[in-house]
Amino acid sequence: MHIADTAVPGAYLVTPRRHIDERGDFFEGLRTELLEARTGHPFAPRQINYSTSRRNTLRGVHGVTIPPGQAKYVTCVRGALRDIVVDLRVGSPTFGAYATHELDPASGTAVYVPEGVGHGFLTLTDDTTICYVLSTAHVPGTQIDIDPLDPDLALPWGFTEPPLMSAKDAAAPGVREAEARGLLAPWRETGREAHTSDPRKVRP
């Protein structure tokens, strides 16, 4: 598999090598030793979640407080979705930078989301199912919710009609309010910098 940098340091796009014949195809969805070698951090799955959504459903932006912290390995197992990760680590040189990718089962691509980085997605088809492989089990009261439509982030969701959102996501604070309330994690040097010629940053 190929593990590529994104515009968010520590977040990676993973593209598997597919083996195709007359029966169909085969690919490795996750190799933790390869992921750990690239990220420099251990990744031991502790919980696997799925969610299924109608077309034009917007979920996110979500994260987990540190502690306990939580890294995610995200794939689309049915349908198609537009996935966005956004740097929410206070003090990061790319605070507010985002990376967007379209995920579907045919490509098998996955996104690795490190601790402190927010994640959300917009479904592009009905009956879209996303899979999260998580580095920690769910701890009630530790989820961070950020308004996915926050103009300070200006995330490029690309919807053409108002998306379907939960009441919780619609009422979530913007990134500046979340920072002021001490909800966001501090920047921790990953040792591996992502390179981008045009990082998208929070507007002043």
Ranges 107-116, 126-135, 139-148, 186-195: which has the least confidence:
186-195
pLDDT-based confidence at residue 194 (cuts at 50, 70, 90):
very low
Tokens of 105: 């089962």
The tens digit of pLDDT for each residue in 75-134 reads 999 999 999 999 999 999 999 999 999 999 999 999 999 999 999 999 999 999 999 999
Q: Is the pLDDT reported for residue 69 higher than 70? A: yes
Catalytic positions, written as ranges: 62, 132
pLDDT on residue 137? 97
Q: Closest by alpha carbon to 135, among 62, 70, 190, 85?
A: 70
Q: How many CB atoms lie within 10 A of CB 28?
A: 13
Q: Report the topology of domain 2-180.
A: Jelly Rolls (2.60.120)
Residue 189: pLDDT band (50, 70, 90) is low
Whether the predicted pLDDT of 201 surpasses 90: no
Residue 186: which of 97, 74, 66, 71 has the closest Cα?
A: 66
What residue segments make up the domains of the chain, in order of their start?
2-180
pTM reported for the whole predicted model = 0.91
List, for residues 11-67, the tens digit of each pLDDT value: 999 999 999 999 999 999 999 999 999 999 999 999 999 999 999 999 999 999 999
- Of the chain, the percentage scoring pLDDT greater than 90 comes to 92
Question: What is d(CA 34, CA 119) in angstroms, rounded to the nearest whole number?
Answer: 22
Contact 201, 97 (CB under 8 A): yes
- pLDDT above 80: residue 190: no
Who's near 104: CB < 8 A, 6+ residues apart?
Answer: 76, 79, 80, 81
